[in-house]
């Protein structure tokens, strides 16, 4: 029987900032290739969405580069109607949310890869898009909800965005390890866990984000290698506080024959 996630959050113990970072560096040595693969796959998956977004307005860019752009005297040769722009903006919003779903799916798979490499679990993590099956609507609603929360926080003098960034960051690992939870439960769990450990998670987000950008030193493209480091502290934070439903140390334990 699975323990209720809210009970696990309530009973969660202390999280050690230094220990989490130390374990993240150690695991990074084993999963950096997987992280790079997930980054490249995300980029490839996003390309079709970008093409759909930019192709309709390509004539505007052609005008700008062909004749030069002066904001005071520029008159485009192609004049799009107001109805076109309304439809275009609506399409961009929809595609943005779908793109976010794809990103969620790939990142959730990376969390499972981290769990497998870290614990030595024999569990098959499945394909890169395994979380898409049966979860598209849930992830789309989660994407809409996180966007709405971020917008509301930004509208409230922008400072609350620093508060909500913690629970928003925790929602994806919560989904990855509890895919059967409803959208409302994922959001509630994210805020409950975030409220309990806000300062340490905020610190982990800032430090890991800075570390993830260090790859830019290696001819810029190195950032692709380090980009997914930001998810490792979140993985260990979740593991050390909420934990998993099963005991990882028992997955590889041999059966005892009487």
With respect to residue 6, please indicate whether it lies within any of the assigned structural domains. no
Q: Looking at the domain assignment, is residue 255 inside a domain?
A: no
Number of Cβ atoms within 10 Å of the Cβ of 14: 8
pLDDT at 188: 96
Q: Which residue has the higher pLDDT, 80 or 23?
A: 23
| Span 130-149, average pLDDT | 95
| pLDDT score for 192 | 96
Which has the closest alpha carbon to 74: 59, 63, 83, 85? Answer: 63
Residue 120 lies in a domain: yes
> Cα 151 to the chain's mean position, in Å?
17
Q: How many domains does the chain have?
A: 1
75 found inside a domain: no
**Does residue 252 belong to any structural domain of this protein?**
no
Report the pLDDT value the prediction gives residue 109, as an integer from 0 to 100. 97
What's the pLDDT tens digit per position in 62-74?
766 766 555 555 5
Answer whether residue 253 shows pLDDT above 60: no
Residue 193 located in a structural domain: yes
Under the banding of pLDDT at 50, 70 and 90, the label for residue 217 is confident
The reported pLDDT for the residue numbered 215 is: 77
Compute the average pLDDT of residues 64-85. 68
Write out the residue range of the structural domain in which residue 232 sits. Answer: 17-23+31-66+105-243
The reported pLDDT for the residue numbered 145 is 96
Residue partners of 250: CB distance under 8 A and separation at least 6 = none
User: Quick check: helix, strand or coil at residue 237?
Assistant: helix
Task: Please check whether residue 175 lies inside any domain of the structure.
Answer: yes
How long a stretch of residues is the chain? 258
User: What confidence score (pLDDT) does residue 44 get?
Assistant: 94
Angle of the 17-54 helix axis to the 198-212 helix axis, nearest 10 = 60
Q: What is the rounded distance in angstroms from the CA atom of residue 99 to the CA atom of residue 105?
A: 10
> Cβ(113)–Cβ(125) under 8 Å?
yes
Structural domain contains residue 258: no
What is the arithmetic mean of pLDDT over 182-187?
Answer: 96
Q: Which pLDDT tens digit goes with each residue over 17-29? A: 999 999 999 999 9
């Amino acid at each position: 029987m699975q323990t209720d996630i809210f009970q696990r959050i309530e009973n969660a113990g202390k999280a050690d900032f230094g220990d989490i970072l130390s374990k993240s560096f150690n695991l990074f040595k084993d999963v950096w290739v997987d992280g790079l693969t997930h980054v490249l796959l995300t980029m490839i998956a996003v390309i079709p969405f970008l093409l759909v977004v930019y192709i309709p307005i390509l004539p505007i860019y052609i005008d700008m580069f062909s004749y030069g752009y002066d904001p005071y005297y520029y008159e485009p040769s192609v004049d799009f109607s107001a109805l076109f722009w309304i439809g275009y903006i609506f399409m961009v919003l929809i595609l943005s949310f779908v793109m976010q779903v794809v990103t969620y799916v790939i990142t959730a798979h990376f969390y499972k890869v981290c769990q497998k490499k870290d614990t030595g679990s024999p569990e098959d993590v499945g394909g890169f898009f395994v979380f898409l099956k049966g979860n598209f609507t849930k992830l789309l609603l989660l994407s809409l909800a996180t966007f709405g929360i971020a917008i509301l926080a930004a509208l409230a003098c922008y400072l609350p965005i620093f508060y909500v960034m913690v629970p928003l960051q925790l929602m994806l690992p919560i989904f990855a390890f509890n895919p059967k939870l409803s959208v409302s439960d994922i959001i509630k769990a994210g805020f409950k866990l975030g409220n309990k450990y806000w300062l340490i998670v905020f610190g982990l987000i800032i430090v890991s984000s800075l570390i993830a950008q260090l790859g830019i030193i290696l001819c810029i493209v190195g950032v692709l290698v380090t980009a997914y480091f930001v998810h490792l502290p979140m993985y260990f934070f979740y593991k050390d506080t909420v934990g998993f439903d099963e005991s990882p140390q028992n997955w590889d334990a041999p059966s005892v024959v009487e």
